[in-house]
Chains A and B, each alone.
Chain A
Amino acid sequence: MIEILFYLLSAITLGSAFITILSKNPIHSAIWLVVCFFSIAGHYALLNSQFLAMVHIIVYSGAIMILMLFTIMLMNLNISNEISKPLVTKIVATIAFCLVGLVLVSALTQTAPAFDAYVNSGQDYQSIQVLGKVLMNEFVVPFEMTAVLLLMAMIGAVLISKKDKKIA
C-alpha cells in the first residue's frame, strides 16, 4: 500500500516539476509548482514527519507561492517573451547538470541507511512537543540568533521602503 502511494506521489512530483519547467505561461508554471510542493509534503507525511509536512505546506505552498504569483502579476511577466539561449549554452548546461547528477547519484548510492533495524523508543520524535524541547534546550542559541536575523530583515525592509524626505 505504502509502496503504491510512494510511486504515485513520485510520479506526481516529477511530472508536475517537468510541467513547471516546460510550460510557456509563467502563471501555469507557478500553479504546477504548488502541485509539486504538495506532493513533496506527501512524501514527508509518508516518512512519518507530520510536522515537516505541515510546515512545508504552510510555508512553501502557502506563503512562497503567493509571493511568486504576486511578483509575476505585478511585473506583468505572464506575457511570455522567452529569450531563447544559444545552442552551445544549452549543451554545456546539460553536460554540467549531468555531471553534477552523476556525482550526487554515485555518492548517495554508496550510503547505507543509518539504521538497519527500527527500535521503538516509545517517544514520538515527530511531535511538536519534542521539537520544542530540543529547540529550547540544545538549540536555544541558534533559535535566538534566528530572532536577530528576523529583526534585521524587518529593519532592512523598512529601510528600503521608507521614503526619502527630499523626494517625497
Chain B
Amino acid sequence: MNTLIALAGLAVLILVLEIINLRKTIVPLTILGLLAALGITFCDVQILSDNYNNMIVETNFSKMFSSLFIVITIFLVAMSQDFYKEQYEKISDYISLKIFLLIGAVCMISFGNLTMFFIGLEILSITLYILAGSNPTKIKSNEAGMKYFLLGSFASGFILFGIALIYGATASFDLNTISNAILNPETPNFLSLGVVLVTIGMLFKIAAFPFHFWAPDVYQGSPTITTASMSTLAKVAAMATLFKIHAIFESYISEAFTVLLICLAIVTMFVGNIMALKQDNIKRMLAYSGISHAGFMMIALFNTANATAELFYYAAAYSFASIAAFAIIIAVCKNYKDEKIKHFKGLGKQNPMMAAVLTMALLSMAGIPIFAGFFGKFFLFDSALQSGHLELVIFGVINSIISVYYYFKVINQMYSQEAISELPETNHSWIYKTVAVLAILLNIAMGLCPSSILNLF
C-alpha cells in the first residue's frame, strides 16, 4: 500500500512539475523518486499499516516483484530522456504514464481482492494501449494501438466475466473468503468456469498460444521503448499475477485443465521459437522470443508451492536481458525507419562495446551459462522435475536448442558481416549505453551468485 501511495504521488508530482515549468528536472527527479519507492518497498517501511479490508496484501512475493518492476521502470524512464527528445513537450505525459503503468503492475501482484486485481489490470492495459498508439503520425503505431486495444478489451471482458462467475459462486471478491469457499463442497460448479475464463484472459496478457497473435504486430508497430516495457514489465506482471491466481485455485481446478495448461505451455514454447526463426525484423523476433519465454515461465505454474523464487529469478533474468537488448536496439535503429536485423551488420567493428552487450543479452536469453538466463531455465526445469513433469523439461530443452539458432543469427550479423550502410558516424547517446551496461551487469551478477536472489524468498 505504501508503495502504491508513493508511486501515485510521484506520478502527480511529475504533472505538477510540467505546470511550474521544470520540465528539465522531470527525468532525474522521477529516477530519484523511484529509487525512494524501491527503498520503501524493499525495506518494508510501514508508514500505514492498515490493510484496508484486505484490499492489498503485502507478502514477500509482492514485495520482490514490486521491487523488480520498480527497477525495470527506472531503466525505462532513464531511456525516455533521449527517446522522446523530438517530442520533448510531451515528456511529462510519457513519464507519468510509465509511472501509472508501474502502479497498475504493483496493484496487480499485491491484490487481496479481485476488484483490485481488475482495476490494476485495466490501469496496466489501458496505459499500454495509449503508449502503443502514441505515435499517431506513423501508420504502424496506429495499427499496433488499435489491434492491442480491440483484442485486449476482449481479454479484459473474459476476465471480468470470470470474476463475475467467481463472485456468483463464492459471494465474495476477497481472496481469503474465496480460498475457504473452494474447500466447501457445496460451492457451485460454475466456479471452475470463472477460473477458466480468468486464466484465458491472463494467457492473453502474457501472449501464450493460442492467444499470441497480437504480440508480433503490436511489438513491431509500437515505439521501441513501449515494446521494451511490454515485453518486460507488462509480461512479467501478467505472469506473476497468473501464478498467484493459479496458486489460489490450484487445488480446485480439474486434472484435465492442468493437462491442457501443460500442453499450452509446450506449444507456446514451440510456436514462439519456430516463428522467430524466420523473422528479419528484430522487434518481431524478440516478440516471438517473448512468447517462448512466456511458455518457459508457465512451467512454474505446475509447482506453485515451490517455484516462486524460481519464477522470480527467471523473470528478473529475462527482464534485464531484454532491457539491455532493447537499449541497444533503440540506439542502433534510431536513424532507420524500421528495425531490420541487417542494420546490425558490422556493429562489432563500429561499436564493439554495444555489440558485446547485445551479444551477452541474447546469450542470456538463449540460456548460455554464466548469464542468469541459463540458471533461470535450470531452476525452472528443476522445479518441474520435483513435481514430476518430465515432459516439460524435455520440450523445454529442445526449445532452448532451437532458440540458440535465431539469437546467433543476430550475433553472426554483428561480427562476421561488413557494414553495408554508409550512415555518418552516429553519436550514440551515453544513456542507452549506461542502461544497457547496468542491466547486463545485473544479469551477470545474478548469474554469478544465484543464491543471493533465491534466498530472499
Contacts and interface: CB of A to CB of B under 8 A. Distances in A.
A142 B115 CA distance: 7
B126 A108 contact: no
B52 A141 contact: yes
Q: How large is the interface on B (under 10, 10 to 19, 20 to 34, 35 or more residues)?
A: 35 or more
Given A159-B97, A159-B130, A145 B193 contact: no
A145 B113 contact: no
B55 interface: yes
A106 to B, nearest CB: 9
B122 interface: yes
A73 interface: no
Contact of A141 (B116, B126, B136): B116
B193 A148 contact: no
B188 A111 contact: yes
A167 B134 CA distance: 15
B97 A110 contact: no
A153 B97 contact: no
B116 A159 contact: no
B234 to A, nearest CB: 15
Chain B interface, >50% SS class = helix
A110 B87 contact: no
Chain A interface, >50% SS class = helix
A149 B137 contact: no
A108 B193 CA distance: 10
Contacts of B86: 166
Interface residues of A, number: 31
B193 A104 contact: yes
Interface string A85-114: 000000000000000000110011011101
B455 interface: no
B94 A159 contact: yes
A152 B168 CA distance: 30
B244 to A, nearest CB: 18
Contacts of B120: 145
B388 to A, nearest CB: 30
A108 B103 CA distance: 36
Given A142-B55, A145-B120, A155-B15, A162 B90 contact: yes
Contacts of B55: 139, 141-142
B189 interface: yes
Interface in B181-223: 188-190, 193
Interface string B44-80: 0000000011011000000000000000000000000
B100 interface: yes
Given A155-B96, A155-B97, A160 B87 contact: no
A148 B99 CA distance: 11
Contacts of B113: 142
B225 to A, nearest CB: 14
Interface in B100-144: 100, 103, 107, 113, 115-116, 119-120, 122-123, 126-127, 129-130, 133-134, 136-137
Closest CB pairs A-B (n = 8): A156-B130, A107-B190, A141-B55, A159-B93, A152-B100, A142-B115, A145-B119, A141-B52
Given A156-B129, A162-B90, 4 more contacts: A139-B53, A141-B52, A160-B136, A162-B93
